[in-house]
Structure formats: structure tokens, C-alpha cells
Amino acid sequence: MNPLRLCLVTLLLAASPALAQQANPAEISFWESVRDSRNPAEIRAYLQQFPNGVFAPLAKARLAALESKPAAASPVPVAPTSATTSNRMPQVGDTWTYRLSYPSGSGARHIGLPTQERSDVLGRDQPSSHVVKVTAVEGEKIVDQVSVDGAVPQETAHAAGGYLVTQGVSVFSPYLIVYGDAAPTSSLRQIAILDTPCNGQYGCRATGRYVGSERITIAGRQFQAMKLMIEENWWPARPSGHFNQVSQMNGGRRITVWYARELKRAVRISSRIIVGDIPPVESNWDLELVSYQVK
């Protein structure tokens, strides 16, 4: 949130104790992401999520103004398969295609991976394609399949909360944005680590924080994205072997995640190793959405 908008929000909340009690970071972030929108559906999405919110009167006035005149032309291309934001959960058949790439020189950080996995990673000269497709939505559970470069799809079940899970690479809660208001203060208190090496050879822990709202361009269209940062650390669970190798197994990485509410999923994830030479999982990569089809 820029300083001017933060000042305006602060003045509004200070003007009424009753409003201040209702305010929360998630609502402020949501309102900031749609307040300048020319799309009535996005304003309605705020009102559906926060019908009695601090900014509800402003949202209703904004909605009335938008619906009383023709919508202005969009300054960026609008994809024909853009999501309906009022329908927050993904639907069966929703599909996202990502490009996975590796920064130059990251091969030196793969020496701790299993032999076959290390060979696969180091042998990649071109980015790989990750196609994600929803196969089931049961209440609050989302089941999807991920196919890497056309290989046999691997199925994963997702739920609310923060967690790290392997989908080609170890990613953070790809559907966090669709669960409730995705309030960072509540969503990131506990981060579960489901990656296999962290349940045996390594001990792992992770913490996260909300960074802010950022406008990004994805698949030829601009979105107001929610940005989170995750810090994961690891250490040998049962130290054995040469001292230098054991010390190299201590390390950590930083994962940055961008979510677009309209697309119902993480649209960009970047992972970078911070310290250590033998990580439990591949730790240097960029995953970015290149196309999508959502209902």
C-alpha cells in the first residue's frame, strides 16, 4: 500500500472506533486491490466477501457509478477465459500452464539431491512446462493433477492453510488465495512441510509473512497480486558422515509467491537458496503462469 493510501485508510479508521474494530489487514488488502477497478464484478466480489466491511459504503458508491455508465476500454488485453471473481473456488477442468526455468549457475546447488533427480535437473537446458488441471472439488478440498512436459500426471490434494508440497518442484500453498480471505496473519502461523526429505533425512521448518500488494503482468494481462514471502530452513535430522558434508546440509531458501484472485491460484513462484550446498529439494527456480482457462 503506498503512503498516501495508507494515510487515507488510517484517517478513515480513526474517524470511527466502530469501523476500526471491524477493520483487518485482509479487508484493507482486498479493498486496495479493487478500489480503482473498472470492473463491477470485482467491486461486487469485495461486497460479497465483506458485506458489512469498513469500505462497503465506498464500494457501493463505486459500483453504482460503474453501472450507471458504459465501462471504459481496458488498457490491457483481456483474456477470453478470465475468471469470474465472485466464484472464488476453482472448478473441475480449470487449467493453468506454467513455465519452470532455472537461473544460470544454479547447478552447483543440486549436489545434495538424489542421483536420478540431480541428473534430471542438471540435464535440463530448456524450461519445462507444468500443466495443472483440477480434477475434483469436494467442499474445501481441491484435487489437481500436474503433468511436467507431457509426462504422466501426478495427483495432489490441497486444503486451507500454509504448506510446502512437491508438484514438480516444492511449492507453497498454490490455492491460498481462494480459501476465505487468505489473511496472511492467520494463514501463515503454521506452515506444514510435506516434502519427503523433510520427514526423514532432514529436519525442516518454515515461516512466512505478507509482503503487500503488487501489480504484475501475467499471460499478457495485468493483475493486482497478493505477495507473500516464505523462509524455509533445514538441517540434518541424523548427523552422520564427514563433518564438511554435515555442515553443508544446513541451509535455507527464500520462496516468493504472487497470487491473482481472478485466476484462483499462485501465478508466479520464485525460489532461491540462501545458504548451504546440499538442500533437501531443488531450491533455485522460477515458475510463472503463461496461459490459463478458468470458469
pLDDT of residue 44: 80
Shared-domain flag, residues 99 and 138? yes
Q: Are residues 47 and 155 in the same domain?
A: no
What would the mean pLDDT of 174-203 be, rounded to a whole number?
78
Residue 191 has pLDDT above 70, yes or no: yes
Sort 95 into a burial class: Cβ within 10 Å, 0-12 / 13-18 / 19+: middle
Residue 73 above 70 pLDDT?
no
In the listed set 67, 86, 117, which residue is the last one of a domain according to the structure?
67
Residue 82 lies in a domain: no
Within a domain: 206 = yes
Same domain, 46 and 118: no
Distance in angstroms (rounded) separating the CA atoms of residues 2 and 54: 19
Hey, what amino acid is at 28? I
* Structure letter (DSSP) for residue 114: -
CA distance 112 to 280: 7
* Local confidence band at 48 (pLDDT 50, 70, 90 cut-offs): confident
Ranges 73-87, 136-150, 198-212: which has the least confidence? 73-87
Residues 265 and 157 in one domain: yes
**Which one of 26-35, 75-84, 215-224 scores highest in mean pLDDT?**
215-224
Do 198 and 63 belong together in one domain? no
Q: Are residues 113 and 215 in the same domain?
A: yes
Let me know if residue 74 belongs to a domain. no
**What is the count of structural domains for the chain?**
2
Q: Cα separations (Å) of 112 from 138, 148, 245, 280?
A: 38, 22, 9, 7
**Alpha helix (H) residue ranges in 15-101:** 17-22, 25-34, 40-49, 56-67
> What confidence score (pLDDT) does residue 45 get?
77
| pTM of the predicted protein model | 0.65
Residues 57 and 113 in one domain: no
Q: What is the pLDDT of residue 244?
A: 66
Containing domain of residue 56, as a range? 3-67
Boundary (domain end) residue, out of 67, 83, 106: 67
Calpha distance 267→188 (Å, rounded)? 19
The reply to whether 58 and 126 lie within a common domain is no
